[in-house]
Each structure stands twice: as C-alpha cells, then as structure tokens.
Amino acid sequence: MHVSAALLLELGLILVALSVLGAMARRLTLSPVPLYLLTGLALGEGSALPVPAAGEFLRVGASIGIVLLLLALGLEFSIGEFTASMRRHVPSAVVDLVLNAVPGAVAGWLLGLDGVGVLALAGATYISSSGIIARLLGDLRRLANRESPAVLSVLVLEDFAMAAYLPVLAVLVSGGTWWQAGLGVLVALGAVLAAFATSYRWGHHVGRLVAHPDDEQLMLRLLGITLVVAALAEYIHASAAVGAFLVGLTVTGQTAERAGAVIASLRDLFAAVFFVAIGLSVDAGELPPVLPAAALLAVVTGATKVVTGRYAASRDGVGARARARAGAALIARGEFSIVIVGLAAAGHPVLAPLVAAYVFILAIAGPLITRFTGTRRVDALRGGGARPSR
C-alpha cells in the first residue's frame, strides 16, 4: 500500500505544532482552542504555509472530532436527567432565538442583503458552537457544575432548531417555494422527535449492547454505533453532534465511566483536528475589510448570548457566579455558522468573509472570556478553575 510522504510530513508537523501550542496554553491555564483555531487560519487558503496533502484528512477528521466531543459529553449525563432539563429550558430556547437571531437579521438588512441573506446571517449569529463549548467545559473541568445542564440544554435545543432551519435555507437558496421548505421542516422535525423519543424509551439497550469487559471491544462497539447514529442524524438534516450526544446519554454507570476513559485520547486528537479544520476553511486575506462590521456584530451577539446563558442558568436556581459562567460559555460560534454561510454564500459575496471573521472573533474570545468569568481570583491564579458543588 502506497503511503504519501507529503501527507505524513504535513500531519506530523501539524501535530508537533499543536503539541507545543497546547503545552503553552496549559502552562498559562488557558484552553488551547483559540491557538488551534489560529493554527488552522495560518494554514488555510491564501496563507504562506499551505497543507495540500493533509487538507482532506483534516476535513474528514473534523467530522469525527465533533462526533467524539459530543459523545464524550453525553457520557457525563443520564438521559432521564437531561430530558427533564430540556423540558425546563424550552423558554430559554425562545429567549435564545429572539436575542441572538434578531441582531443578525438586522445586520443583514442594514447590509442590503436579500431575504435569503438576512435569514442566513440570522442563523449564523443565533447558533453557538457545540464543539468548542464541549471542549471548553472539559478543559475547565466544569462538566459537574450546576450550570452545565442549562448550557447543554440550550445547545441541544439550538441543534434541534437547526433541523428546521437548514432545510428551509437550503430550499430557498436553490430557488424552491415556501411550501417545499415547510414540508422539509415537518419531515426533519418529525424525524428528530422520533429519534429522541426512541433514545429515551429504548436507549438503555444501547448501553447493554456496547458493554464488554475488553476495552478494545467496548471502543469499537461504541464508536461504530455512534458513527451510524450520527450519520442517520445528518441524513435527516439533524446534527450529527446531536446523534452522538444521544448515544452518550444512553450509556450509564460503570460502562459510561470506562467508555469515557477509553475514548479520551482519541477524542482529544480528533478534537484538535476539528479546531484546525475550522481555521483551515477560512481565507485569511478576505478578513481585514470586514473586521469592523464583524467585531461590532460579535460584541452585540456576545452580550446577548451572555444574557441567554444567565437566564437559562437562573431557571435551574444557581448562584450569581454560575449564571455568569453559563452566559460566557455560550459566546463561542463555530461549525454551524460556517455550514450556514457555505449554503448561502454563492449569491451573497459579503456574507462569507463577514461570517468567517465573526466566527473567528467569537471562537477565540469566547474561551478566553469563559476562562476568567465566574471564577474566584485565587482559583484563576492557580489554574484550577471554579469547582462548585453539584
């Protein structure tokens, strides 16, 4: 079997660079996510350091990375507890939609975009990055915090909203009619609700199926089932990340603990690839002209996400610091915003660079703001992060 020397060399150099940057971030008690994103930007289109051989691997690996991140996140919770949390946070989802989609729609109108462009920009400002936030909660050891279920409920409800939004956008971009878009919404939402109900009612069988005393068998079974479910979720226009998260929720007890340990290294590897791939998808040369508009939009919608998170956490009755942490955690935008602009960019030249700059500002600023929000000063200096009781 022929092995590409260029591919091996490029991947090796990228991983070495990520190792150095990751160690630097840990030393400063920061999440490495912003540095990984900047690495991808430095290697992307128009850069002085292109990686043509490794590019395709990074794009494929990114899809696996987001699946593994959300699978690992799901393993931390039980489906019963999370379902109750989601029901409690339906009002949070409404607040989230109004506060964060409206600024994007207004910005699109001010920029003179047509209806499809306005709809696309509204979606890009609405949806937070499940992948970045999942990694961030793990990096800061906040998965056990009392505000984390509220944050995750908002993220999953956003992904459900995307199941309705993306078919509408895709149909309108292709010149379809509103009734075709509405039909796509009904099909997608019906499939998502059926998948969630199936997971809630019969999901415990998945845990029994993957359980095995041998670590290799446990990993192969869990990853195989997760990738199949993620593919089915993507096929029905839901998020592959939601499918992976649902699989994680169905695995509980000692099996969940072992599964989390078994996939941890694989998750970290492909998560790093995922963040690099986001940066790789952006042409750095297109960003400077749109930075002022992107920065203004980022400030406004960063603030509205903070309000969203604080409101969601308040519904769980948590304290002031926990509400602040929840608000900061939701700031980051990422993969879905890039997907949205990919659908609608053809007829809207300003949209791609604007959303790319906007995503980069919040994908980098979000983790940094989250790191120092709602944390006691002594904890921040020690690098331990906030660890309130459940």
Average pLDDT over residues 73-84: 77
Helix and strand tally (H, E) in the chain?
18, 0
Q: Is the model's pLDDT at 190 over the cut of 80?
A: no
pLDDT of residue 181: 66
The mean pLDDT value of the chain amounts to 84
> How far is C-alpha 288 from the chain's CA centre?
25
Q: Is the model's pLDDT at 347 over the cut of 80?
A: no
pLDDT of residue 266: 92
pLDDT of residue 131: 87
Q: Is the model's pLDDT at 377 over the cut of 60?
A: no
Q: How confident is the model at residue 378 (pLDDT cuts 50, 70, 90)?
A: very low
Q: Is the model's pLDDT at 379 over the cut of 50?
A: no
pTM for the model stands at: 0.81
Cβ-Cβ contacts under 8 Å for 150 (sequence gap 6 or more)? 85, 89, 92, 309, 312, 313, 315, 316, 318, 326
Contact 354, 345 (CB under 8 A): no
Which three-class secondary structure state does DSSP give residue 47?
coil
Cβ-Cβ contacts under 8 Å for 245 (sequence gap 6 or more)? 70, 71, 73, 74, 156
* Residue range 192-249, pLDDT digits in tens: 667 667 666 766 677 788 888 899 999 999 999 999 988 887 776 667 877 888 888 8
pLDDT of residue 214: 92
* Residue range 43-73, pLDDT digits in tens: 877 666 788 888 888 888 988 998 998 888 8
Top-confidence residue, 158 or 308:
308
What sign has the CA pseudo-torsion 327, 333, 334, 336?
positive
Which three-class secondary structure state does DSSP give residue 227?
helix
CA-to-CA distance for 58 and 339, rounded, in angstroms? 16
pLDDT of residue 95: 95
Domain covering 7-52+78-200+268-282+289-376, topology: Na+/H+ antiporter like fold (1.20.1530)
Q: Which tokens sit at 50?
A: 């292109």
pLDDT of residue 291: 93
* Residue range 97-140, pLDDT digits in tens: 999 999 999 999 999 999 889 999 999 999 999 889 988 998 88
Domain ranges of the chain: 7-52+78-200+268-282+289-376
User: 184: number of CA atoms within 13 Å, CB side?
Assistant: 21
pLDDT of residue 122: 95
pLDDT of residue 359: 92
